[in-house]
Amino acid sequence: TASAPAPAAQPAAPAPTMKKVRKYDMWGTIDHVPYQGARKAVGDLMSKSKQTAPHVTHTDMLDASALKSLRQAEKEKGNTVSYVALVMKAVARALKEHRYLNATLDDENKDIILKNYWSIAFAVDTPNGLYAPVVKRVNQKTAAEVTAEITALAQKALDRSLDPMDMKGSTFTITNVGSVGGLFFTPIINYPEVAILGMGRLHDAPIAKEGQVTVAPLIPLSLSFDHRVIDGAEGARFTAKVMELLQDPASLMEAEDKVG
């Protein structure tokens, strides 16, 4: 079985050495590592998200046969299109129909703010911690352009050269643990967004198609959302729409909207 590839990137520069303090408890030696920097920033955001938004996670399994075929065809033409980029394109299009997943909740003014732009963050695991750079205006870019931008931003995260603006302006987030392993999980919403889509490991498994059992490449999907803004049925409808769009990945290759 194959794993869903992470964005291609060169090896990161060595992470800065964290000052460890060797101490003892009653059972043996222990190391104290400072809780600071990116780790603390992510921890604070995740804590606020879980304490503020009642999370629900909806799961489904994507038949990735069409995605795999398209990527192979593009590879034979010398083009690179990543799974994450195609999922990102499908998400951006689905968000146009399911607007409450492309929103924030203004508690103070008691408003749900629906965004009229579609900029999607993606999680990057680095030795220095987790980063979520943003592909701006996904609907205005081709799948190849989105792939290239994901690769460039992932490399900047590994190099610790992201500009603060690279991590601002997102309306939705995708997190892909497929290259590490695992199927379904419960991703934490990138607050103040109201939804996040998790991608699990691409793997071959038997499924039923037209009354026959066949082996197909599958990608597990896990959508976490804020139940204050989104009901369970709407989360399921959104996921179904994303999966429907991914059955025709050729329709996701071009930019949908003009720049401007």
The C-alpha atoms of residue 20 and residue 83 are separated, in whole angstroms, by: 39
Look at residue 10 and tell me whether its pLDDT is greater than 50: no
**CA atoms of 240 and 162, how far apart (whole Å):** 34
% of the chain surpassing 90 pLDDT: 78
Predicted pLDDT of residue 16: 52
pLDDT, position 133: 98
Average of per-residue pLDDT values in the chain: 92
The catalytic residues are 227
**4 pLDDT higher than 50:** no
- Residue 106: count other Cβ atoms within 10 Å of its Cβ: 11
More confident: 222 or 10: 222
What are the tens digits of pLDDT across the range 124-172?
999 988 999 999 999 999 999 999 999 999 999 999 999 999 999 999 9
* Residue 37's pLDDT band (cuts 50, 70, 90): confident
71: buried, middle or exposed (CB in 10 Å: 19+, 13-18, 0-12)?
buried
Backbone angles phi, psi at 135, to 5 degrees: -90, 110
User: Does 34 score more than 50 pLDDT?
Assistant: yes
Q: Is the Cβ–Cβ distance between 156 and 162 less than 8 Å?
A: yes
Residue 188: pLDDT above 80?
yes
Q: Does 11 have pLDDT greater than 80?
A: no
Question: 55-252: CATH homologous superfamily?
Answer: Chloramphenicol acetyltransferase-like domain (3.30.559.10)
What are the sequence ranges of the domains in the chain? 55-252
Global confidence as pTM = 0.88
Q: Give 71-118 pLDDT, tens digit per residue.
A: 999 999 999 999 999 999 999 999 999 999 999 999 999 999 999 999
| H helix runs in 160-249, sequence order | 232-246
